């Protein structure tokens, strides 16, 4: 009887795993088909505009595909998406497309005007480098880190975000945590520890000044550039209010401190990531399907727009955090539920939305900009989360 029950359990597990694998294979096929739609839409849009400097999709604007030049902060996500599809399928067609779209972004390694070089360069060139070890990509990553490092201020202890603002003196946004990955990688590739040191100082300063007692994060912290350690004000730009918790900001914080732990093994970063995860996952305003409203303190919940991009970022971060934390089972379960919700209820049908993968993200609700629309970075982090989930199930490293 015991042997019979054991055999039945093994058969049940085999069937369940096989069924899950078949479902995922079908989803990936649909993602490929949808990306082919996007490629055709990009070609059509570029031809219609006559503007060949428009290189990457960002969103839908009045129902039409909005393309952006390489200088836009979102330009690296679609090339990264193509690289992730290549990893998921091992099909050369995606590698060829990824190489072509990545080449459009390489010039940004010299862009001194932005803090978003991590998004632009690391999500495209960096993702490509992880899969190919291309020496050209290596050189681009190192140069981009050199460029980004020039925005670091030793007095504030942070990398400057926006330039030429009237509202802030020296703004640093929580999003900047994502760009530290570029600096960490550059140290590994070049042997130059200055990039690593800048990343650590920025992370420590952010951990000190960006968080409330409940471990929710402010969006913008404004620093005095003359008197070290002085914070002028703490505000928002894309959240509901200065003291609210903008959902994507919390996602950036979770992802950022998780990657900082990966690169440094500093337990303070692990604890910070766990605390941010606790704030998100235990928040009474987190929707039942685990796809956040655009701000955890938005006044009209549940009648507020969702932000699927925040959910995708959080899920991807939780998959990684599960590798380091004693809360592994909780994080894997929550990430799985988020991804199930996104896949089953927030994904575009093949041929819909001009080829974007996901629907219902929110860029900036206060500015009434990109509200309840597809966004390229939602698609990128969704695919990254799929890759991480797959690797974890196959007991492979996610890096």
d(CA 177, CA 229): 19
Spell out the residues 6+ positions from residue 268 whose beta carbon is closer than 8 angstroms to its own.
207
Does the active-site annotation cover 116?
yes
Catalytic residue among 72, 175, 222, 295: 175
Phi, psi of 55 (to 5 degrees): -115, -20
d(CA 138, CA 7): 50
Catalytic residue among 44, 72, 111, 116: 116
330 burial level (CB within 10 Å; 0-12, 13-18, 19+): middle
Cα within 13 Å of Cα(173), Cβ side: 21
Contact 64, 109 (CB under 8 A): no
d(CA 128, CA 106): 12
d(CA 182, CA 178): 8
How many residues belong to the chain? 399
Provide long-range contacts, Cβ within 8 A and 24+ apart, for 26-29: 27/343, 27/386, 28/88, 28/89, 28/386
Does the active-site annotation cover 175?
yes
Positions annotated as catalytic residues are 116, 175
């Amino acid at each position: 009887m015991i042997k019979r029950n054991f055999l039945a359990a093994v058969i049940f597990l085999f069937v369940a795993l096989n069924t899950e694998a078949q479902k995922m294979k079908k989803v990936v096929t649909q993602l490929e088909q949808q990306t082919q739609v996007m490629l055709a839409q990009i070609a059509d849009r570029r031809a219609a505009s006559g503007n060949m400097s428009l290189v990457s999709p960002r969103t839908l604007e009045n129902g039409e595909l909005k393309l952006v030049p390489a200088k836009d902060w979102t330009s690296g996500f679609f090339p990264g998406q193509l690289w992730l599809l290549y990893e998921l399928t091992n099909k050369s067609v995606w590698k060829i497309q990824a190489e072509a779209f990545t080449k459009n972004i390489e010039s940004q390694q010299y862009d001194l005007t932005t803090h978003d070089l991590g998004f632009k360069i690391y999500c495209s060139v960096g993702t490509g480098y992880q899969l190919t070890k291309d020496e050209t990509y290596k050189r681009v990553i190192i140069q981009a880190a050199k460029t980004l490092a020039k925005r670091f201020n030793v007095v504030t202890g942070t990398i400057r975000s926006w330039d030429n603002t009237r509202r802030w003196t020296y703004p640093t946004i929580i999003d900047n945590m994502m760009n530290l990955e570029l600096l960490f990688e550059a140290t590994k590739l070049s042997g130059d520890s200055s990039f690593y040191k800048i990343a650590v100082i920025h992370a420590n300063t952010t951990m000190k000044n960006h968080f409330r007692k409940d471990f929710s994060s402010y969006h913008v912290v404004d620093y005095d550039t003359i008197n070290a350690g002085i914070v002028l004000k703490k505000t928002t730009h894309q959240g509901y209010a200065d003291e609210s918790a903008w959902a994507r900001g919390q996602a950036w914080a979770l992802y950022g401190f998780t990657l900082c732990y990966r690169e440094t093994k500093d337990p303070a970063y692990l604890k910070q990531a766990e605390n941010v995860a606790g704030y998100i996952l235990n928040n009474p305003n987190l929707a039942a399907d685990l796809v956040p409203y655009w701000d955890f303190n938005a006044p009209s919940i549940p009648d507020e727009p969702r932000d699927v991009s925040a959910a995708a970022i959080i899920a991807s971060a939780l998959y990684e955090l599960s590798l380091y934390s004693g809360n592994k089972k909780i994080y894997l379960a929550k990430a799985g539920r988020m991804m199930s919700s996104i896949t089953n209820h927030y994904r575009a049908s093949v041929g819909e939305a001009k080829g974007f993968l996901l629907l219902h993200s929110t860029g900036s609700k206060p500015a009434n900009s990109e509200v309840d629309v597809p966004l390229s970075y939602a698609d990128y982090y969704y695919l990254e989360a799929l890759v991480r989930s797959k690797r974890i199930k196959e007991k492979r490293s996610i890096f």
